[in-house]
Each structure stands twice: as C-alpha cells, then as structure tokens.
Amino acid sequence: MQTAINFIAVSSVALGIAACGNAKDASKSNFSNAIQAYLDTQKGLCAAIPAKDFPFTVSSRDFFGSQKIKQADALVDAGLLTKRSTEVKSAFGNKVETATEYQVTAAGNKFFVANGANTVGEHGAFCTGKYTVVEVDNFTQPSDTMGVKLSRVTYRYKVDGADSWAKLEVMRTSYDNFAEQAQGDIPGKATVILTHDGWVHEHLFKGG
C-alpha cells in the first residue's frame, strides 16, 4: 500500500513539472512572460508635453507652435493643464511675441511623469494605464546569432486601466499614439533571447 502511495506521489510531482514546462522552452507562454516583463518596465500610455516641467510657454511664432498648442490644448480639455495668454521676448531683437503659458492642474499632477516622453530633450508626459500582453501570435524557430540564441516574436498587447481622459476624442486626434493604442489590441514585435534563467526581452538582456 505504501509503495502505491509513493508511486502516486512521485507521478503527481512529475505531472506537475511537465505541466509547468521548462523556462528555456521555445513556447508562446514563455515568450509572453518575457515580453510582459519588459512591458512592466514601461510607463504606459503617455502624452508628451513640449517641456521638461511646468509652467511652460509656447510662442505663437514658434516654428512648431501650432502642433505644440494643439496637443497642449488637448491636455487642457482633458483637465490636466490650464492655460493663460502671456507675452515672451522675441528670439530676435527686443520685440515681444504673444504666447500661451500652460500650468499643471491638481488632477494632472497625479499622472505627470518626469522624462515620460523619453525624448532627447527629456520632456515630461502624462502617463496612464499599463501594457498587457494579449497573445503571442507567432515566433521564429530559435537560432544562434552573434553568440546568443534568439527568436523573433509577433504578438498583440493592450492598454489596461487607462484613466478616462486617455479615451477622449481630443486626445486621439491630437496624439498619434493615443489613436493607435487607446482602442483594442495593438500589434507588436519583439526579439527574445535565451539566458541561463530562461527567455528575456532583448531590452532586458544583460548577457546572462
């Protein structure tokens, strides 16, 4: 009787291990986990501002002013910024130019992320929600490239938990990434690399 019980226990453990699989297997679940680990490092869906911090001013004579004002005004409509008319000194001579000054609201402060835009100018951004893998659709047979084993993966992900301001029409018409990412599944591509501990996204690979 004891032998039978031992056999059942050992069999149960073996089945459990088989069900869990190996972290080094080339599988959709392992690749999904690797991609999700990378997405968890991202700031979510972000709307950049044309400055590092607040307040910031956009001159009516700014070469890119119309696009900056369009996006900043969208953030005003979303309740994240306030605005007021002002004047700034011209870059040429002693003249002054009309401009608009923008300041963050109390609601906006909850979503503001310094350098959230990931730009060279280290612009701030309003960020909300998180990215979640929906499904891995396909992947290439793992191959050795430049000393590592890798696979290229196509997948779909979505934005979970985004605040209501991110779903406004004015945000979708003013920010391309909101038009693309605020609705439904988003197609994505990634390269995953095999390490001693399993598969990792290329951007998290440290030569392990």
- pLDDT at position 93 is 67
Predicted confidence (pLDDT) at residue 32 exceeds the cutoff of 80:
yes
Same-domain status, 137 and 191: yes
Q: Is residue 188 part of a domain?
A: yes
Predicted confidence (pLDDT) at residue 5 exceeds the cutoff of 50:
no
Same-domain status, 61 and 32: no
Based on the structure, what is the number of domains in the chain? 2
- Could you tell me the two tokens for 124? 């701030």
Q: Is residue 134 part of a domain?
A: yes
Q: Is residue 90 part of a domain?
A: yes
Same-domain status, 36 and 70: no
- pLDDT at position 45 is 95
Q: Quick one: what percent of the chain has pLDDT higher than 90?
A: 73
Q: Residues 153-172: what's their mean pLDDT?
A: 96
Same-domain status, 165 and 194: yes
Strands 81-89 and 96-104 come out as antiparallel
Cis check for the bond before 55: say yes or no (omega within 30 of 0). yes
Predicted confidence (pLDDT) at residue 12 exceeds the cutoff of 50:
no
Q: Quick one: what percent of the chain has pLDDT higher than 70?
A: 87
Q: Residues 103-119: what's their mean pLDDT?
A: 96
Structural domain boundaries enclosing 33 = 21-43+130-204
7 confidence band (pLDDT: 50, 70, 90):
very low
Predicted confidence (pLDDT) at residue 36 exceeds the cutoff of 80:
yes
Predicted confidence (pLDDT) at residue 6 exceeds the cutoff of 80:
no
Same-domain status, 115 and 57: yes
- pLDDT at position 18 is 43
Same-domain status, 36 and 107: no
DSSP string, 149-168: EEEEEEEEEEEES--GGGG-
Which of 111, 127, 143 is the C-terminal boundary of a domain? 127
Same-domain status, 57 and 103: yes
Predicted confidence (pLDDT) at residue 52 exceeds the cutoff of 50:
yes
Size (the chain), residues: 208
pLDDT digits (tens, 9 = 90+) for 116-129: 998 888 999 999 99
Q: What are the CA-CA distances from residue 8 to residues 4, 16, 19, 112 (Å)?
A: 6, 12, 16, 56
Which of 107, 127, 147 is the C-terminal boundary of a domain? 127
Q: Is residue 114 part of a domain?
A: yes
Which of 83, 110, 127 is the C-terminal boundary of a domain? 127
Cβ(153)–Cβ(189) below 8 Å: yes
DSSP string, 62-117: -TTHHHHHHHHHHHHHTTSEEEEEEEEE-SSTT-EEEEEEEEE-HHHHTTEETTTT
165 confidence band (pLDDT: 50, 70, 90):
very high
